[in-house]
Amino acid sequence: MSVTSNKFTKNERLFQQKIITNLFKSTNSIHIYPIKIIWLYSESEDVFPARVLFSVPKKNFKRAVQRNLLKRRLREIYRLYKHNLYSELDKNNKKIALAIIYNSADKYSYSELEPIVLKALKRLEAKLTAE
């Protein structure tokens, strides 16, 4: 499978507990309400330059149906626009692990969420190139 593919495969998902623990201890973060992105540089030998997890706190949405809907929206936005982030990471020869966290008690629609996530991803790209 090509890295430039528009698919979001299992290999792109972050699920290793050790990396997730280190990720949440990391101080690298971007917050654009209602999205928070936390990232950590990774030394993994993966094909993909970024591994990602999506989180919607149970504290804000008690029902799993609502949390899953928001995670699906976040995953779809990321899937469509990840190529910009990947090209930036490939250019700088870096690999990262990142978490995209939804931090609001309000349910945003896809059209409301898309520009916010794009802005956060662009800011992440800028921070990664600056370092």
User: What SS3 string covers the chain?
Assistant: CCCCCCCCCHHHECCCHHHHHHHHHCCCEEEECCEEEEEEECCCCCCCCEEEEEECCCCCCCCHHHHHHHHHHHHHHHHHHHHHHHHHHHHHCCCEEEEEEECCCCCCCHHHHHHHHHHHHHHHHHHHHHC
pLDDT confidence bin for 1, thresholds 50/70/90: very low
- Overall average pLDDT of the 75-91 stretch: 93
Query: Tokens in use for 85?
Result: 């982030």
CA distance 7 to 79: 7
pTM for this prediction? 0.91
The per-residue pLDDT for 44 is 78
Tens digit of each residue's pLDDT (9 = 90 or more) over 9-62: 898 999 999 999 999 998 999 999 999 999 999 887 888 999 999 999 999 999
Q: What domains sit in the chain, N to C, each tagged with a CATH number?
A: 10-130 (3.30.230.10)
Angle of helix 64-92 relative to helix 110-130, nearest 10 degrees, comes to 30
